[in-house]
Structure formats: C-alpha cells, structure tokens
C-alpha cells in the first residue's frame, strides 16, 4: 500500500459520521408553508418535485423559549411520546404569546424526517410541528410499513410536493411526500437496486378537531 493512502478505518470519517447522526437536525433544514418548500436559514425555495431518499424519522416534544428550542424530549424506540401533562409548564399565565397574540404552549409535538439527495449525498432534515405536517409524516410511515411487509428494509424515494387540506379557515396546504420509487435497505443499502415503483394521489385531509392544532393549520411558524 502506498504511504500516501490512509486506511479507511483510520481516517476519522466514520467517527465524525457517528457524531453527526446523534444530532436532531442533520444537514440542511427543510420547511414547508403556504404551498412552498424552503431550505436553510435563508428560506431558499425548493423546486416542487425535488427527489430525496427518506432515510429515517423521529419524534420529540420540543420546548421553546424566546423563539429558540431549549429542550428536547425524544421518543424512545418502540415507545410513544410521553403525554403533554408529564412535561410540566402547564400554567398558561407563564406561556409566551404566539403569532396570534394568544398564549402558546412552549412544548410542541414535533416530527423530524431525515433525507438525503441521491445524487450528491447532501443531507436534509424536515421539521414540523403542525397538524398537516405530522399527518404527512404519518402517511409516509404507513406506506413504508406496507412496503416492508414484502420488502424488509425498503427505503422510499420521495418527491416534495404540496397537497390541499380543508380547514375551518378554508382550503390550505400541507406537505406531501410522494413516493416515486424504492431502494433496498439493510445489507443491500446503497447498491442502487430498485424495488417496485409507487406513486399516489394527493391526500385530502379534513380539519383537525383539536382547536390548538387548527390554529397551527399547516404552516410551521416557529423557526429553527
């Protein structure tokens, strides 16, 4: 072996990747609001139909103070999120005002979806605490589960789209992960072998019956 070649196991990149995987936000932050996807702190527009591979998801209660996340209560694998009452901070008199001027619960039930560009390997994290956003993640999880009955470890290739959602405020938008293909996961991950293609039609979701969720509707107004 040439003295200029560093053995892959000793170059430090594996250890750095492990540290990166421990972060909640990995790579560039993706957001959705008003029928549009954006990325990064600058809110750069993301083209409708952009394809990414959805690698994983997690859930957490995120506590906000002064417009910033100050605490995370992550969902443990195989368990549900704790009930809101278990988190404390129940006195609305101590809550900060939300965008509508009303006291806003500092604890937000949040979903994170970790994605990667299949061409560049650039990482993204979609963060959402809205009713419509959480529904989009749930819909994708349901589709993945059905595919994995026949193809264990299958990973979806998704396009980023918007879908209509009916609320008491009228017709609004919600994010939609349109599955357009599948890749093999587990031991076969990264070999590029495709699985059966998939598509689907935009979901139609009625308004939430929960008043606090209806206030959020679809737009994730709390910034990261």
State the pLDDT confidence band at 43, using cuts at 50, 70 and 90.
very high
Is the Cβ–Cβ distance between 177 and 150 less than 8 Å?
A: no
Domain positions in the chain: 24-58+111-216
Is the Cβ–Cβ distance between 49 and 37 less than 8 Å?
A: no
The DSSP bridge pattern shows strands 123-128 and 28-33 to be parallel
pLDDT digits (tens, 9 = 90+) for 6-41: 555 677 766 665 555 567 889 999 999 999 999 999
Is the Cβ–Cβ distance between 193 and 184 less than 8 Å?
A: yes
pLDDT digits (tens, 9 = 90+) for 208-217: 445 444 444 4
Q: Is the pTM of this model over 0.95?
A: no
Q: Is the pLDDT of residue 2 over 60?
A: no
Q: Report which listed range, 3-7, 137-141, 195-199, is most confident.
A: 137-141
How much is the average pLDDT of 43-67?
Answer: 95
Q: Is the pLDDT of residue 190 over 60?
A: no
Give the residue from 92, 73, 93 showing the smallest Cα distance to 83.
73
pLDDT digits (tens, 9 = 90+) for 89-138: 999 999 999 888 899 999 999 999 999 999 999 999 999 999 999 999 99
**What local confidence, expressed as pLDDT, does residue 215 receive?**
47
Give the residue from 132, 141, 115 showing the smallest Cα distance to 55.
115
Q: Is the pLDDT of residue 183 over 90?
A: yes
Higher pLDDT: 47 or 14? It is 47
Which residues make Cβ contacts (< 8 Å) with residue 51, sequence separation at least 6? Answer: 118, 157, 158, 159, 180
DSSP string, 82-136: PPGGGG----GGGSPB-TTSSB--SEEEEEEEEEE-TTT--EEEEEE-SHHHHHH
């Amino acid at each position: 072996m040439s003295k200029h070649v560093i053995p892959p196991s000793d170059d430090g990149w594996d250890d750095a990747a492990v540290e990166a995987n421990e972060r909640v936000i990995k790579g560039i932050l993706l957001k959705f609001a008003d029928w549009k996807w954006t990325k990064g702190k600058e809110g750069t527009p993301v083209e409708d139909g952009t394809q990414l591979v959805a690698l994983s998801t997690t859930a957490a209660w995120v506590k906000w103070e002064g417009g910033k996340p100050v605490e995370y209560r992550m969902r443990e694998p195989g368990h549900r999120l704790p009930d809101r009452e278990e988190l404390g901070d129940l006195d609305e008199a101590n809550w900060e005002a939300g965008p509508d001027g009303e006291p806003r619960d500092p604890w937000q039930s949040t979903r994170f979806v970790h994605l990667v560009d299949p061409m560049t390997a650039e990482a993204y994290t979609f963060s959402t605490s809205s009713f419509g956003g959480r529904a989009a993640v749930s819909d994708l999880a349901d589709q993945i589960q059905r595919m994995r009955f026949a193809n264990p470890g299958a990973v979806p290739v998704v396009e980023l789209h918007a879908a209509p959602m009916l609320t008491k405020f009228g017709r609004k938008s919600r994010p939609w992960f349109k599955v357009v293909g599948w890749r093999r996961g587990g031991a076969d991950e990264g070999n590029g072998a495709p699985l059966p293609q998939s598509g689907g039609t935009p979901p139609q979701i009625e308004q939430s019956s929960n008043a606090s969720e209806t206030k959020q509707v679809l737009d994730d107004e709390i910034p990261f």
